[in-house]
Amino acid sequence: MFKIDTSAPVMVTGATGFVAGWLVKSLLEAGVTVHAPVRDPANLAKLKYLEAIAEKSPGDLKYFKADLLDDGSYAEAIKGCAIVWHTASPFTTNVKDPQKELVDPAQLGTRNVLEEANRTPSIQRVVLTSSCAAIYGDNADVAKAPGGVLTEDIWNTTSSLTHQAYSFSKTVAEKEAWKIADAQSRWDLVVVNPSLVVGPGVNPHATSESFSLVKQFGDGTLKSGAPRIGFGAVDVRDLAQAHIAAGFTVDAEGRHIISGHETNLLEMAMTLLEKYGDDYPIPRKAMPKWLIWLVGPVVNKTLTRKVVSLNVDVPWRADNSKGIRALGMHYRPLAESMTDMFQQMIDNGYFKKR
């Protein structure tokens, strides 16, 4: 369907991140030279995982110093590259100032990287890691979608700085990318819109919110029950394949929902019960919506009453057929992704056995 071209270097922003780790690994193993602009090239604790992969791979890994909020800082890293994968963007819900901590790096960072692509004649394609969060804001939006199913034609219109700010940041960032791409014709933009990403990290201590979420299944936070919040889920290794295909499939175009499973938080946790239920406080039952509505905002400031009303006990559905058709996606079972991620957390001292 596509051939990995090793003749020119490529740039991957956010290479230290959970999502990009497996993408960089696949590229290096295929023999591609990867330019990795990172915030701190001296942070060996963060880079050692990629380093270990690079040592054993035919591809070369080169670090550069860059920051999404530092205009022009990607100029060195992008030089001579054919493809950019722009994955860097903060994925966290624990913020004090959503404009500064989420929207600026997402939107201004996308502008910074894509304007550098405009100034770089060798660039042929930019692959943007957007999110299903740029398609919907709350699960209640899913019910309002035609046929109750999200598609690539839909945009998130319900998130804002004060409600689902991360989803808002991803929406404005993807819009920014399309605006810049549509104003020129030398390179094309291909967008990957993953649902919640799970599975083991190349770096077992990734900062991604995916880790904070799954950690709660083993650290006792949800021992009395998990909210049945509908989610889509995709394995990080399958998502790397989507990124590779989006970069090298000549006629790839537009947005792609990359999601293997329609699930919910409780169901995700319960995939772990058989193997880990005796030793760790995995949630076994649903936490009632009225209870979450009552105590949610007290224990977690992002779990506002509005978020609870619009998401708990509301299912999530999306049409993933374009990714299967156009990018050749295959999805591994959810239980495999959850088990591999949880086992990695155990091996890295995330939880105490009970």
Smallest separation (angstroms) from ligand NAP to the CB of 294: 28
Nearer to ligand NAP by C-beta: 33 or 131?
A: 131
Q: How far apart are CA 271 and CA 116, in angstroms?
A: 43
Nearer to ligand NAP by C-beta: 14 or 323?
A: 14
Smallest separation (angstroms) from ligand NAP to the CB of 65: 10
Q: How far apart are CA 340 and CA 337, in angstroms?
A: 5
Nearer to ligand NAP by C-beta: 204 or 225?
A: 204
Contact in structure between 86 and 13 (CB atoms under 8 Å):
yes
The H or E element that residue 299 is part of is helix 289-299
Smallest separation (angstroms) from ligand NAP to the CB of 121: 24
Nearer to ligand NAP by C-beta: 260 or 281?
A: 260
Q: What phi and psi values does residue 86 have, to the nearest 5 degrees?
A: -100, 95
Smallest separation (angstroms) from ligand NAP to the CB of 109: 6
Please report, for the chain, how many H helices and E strands are present, in that order.
15, 10
Nearer to ligand NAP by C-beta: 25 or 289?
A: 25
Please name the residue that has the structure tokens 């290479």.
15
Nearer to ligand NAP by C-beta: 84 or 281?
A: 84
Q: How far apart are CA 38 and CA 58, in angstroms?
A: 21
Dihedral angle at the C-alpha atoms of 298, 303, 304, 307, nearest 10 degrees? Answer: -160
Smallest separation (angstroms) from ligand NAP to the CB of 298: 26
Smallest separation (angstroms) from ligand NAP to the CB of 88: 4
Nearer to ligand NAP by C-beta: 87 or 159?
A: 87
Q: Name the 3-class secondary structure at 5.
A: coil
Sheet holding 83-86, edge to edge: 61-65, 34-38, 10-13, 83-86, 125-129, 188-194, 254-258
- Residues of this chain that bind ligand NAP (CB under 6 A): 14, 16-19, 38-39, 46, 67-69, 87-91, 105, 129, 131, 170, 194, 196-197, 206-208, 210
Beta bridge partners of 126: 84, 189
Smallest separation (angstroms) from ligand NAP to the CB of 208: 3
Query: CB atoms < 10 A from the CB of 3, how many?
Result: 9
Q: How far apart are CA 189 and CA 100, in angstroms?
A: 26
Smallest separation (angstroms) from ligand NAP to the CB of 288: 26
The H or E element that residue 182 is part of is helix 165-182
Q: Which residue number is nearest to ligand NAP in terms of Cβ?
A: 17
Nearer to ligand NAP by C-beta: 291 or 324?
A: 324
The H or E element that residue 266 is part of is helix 265-270
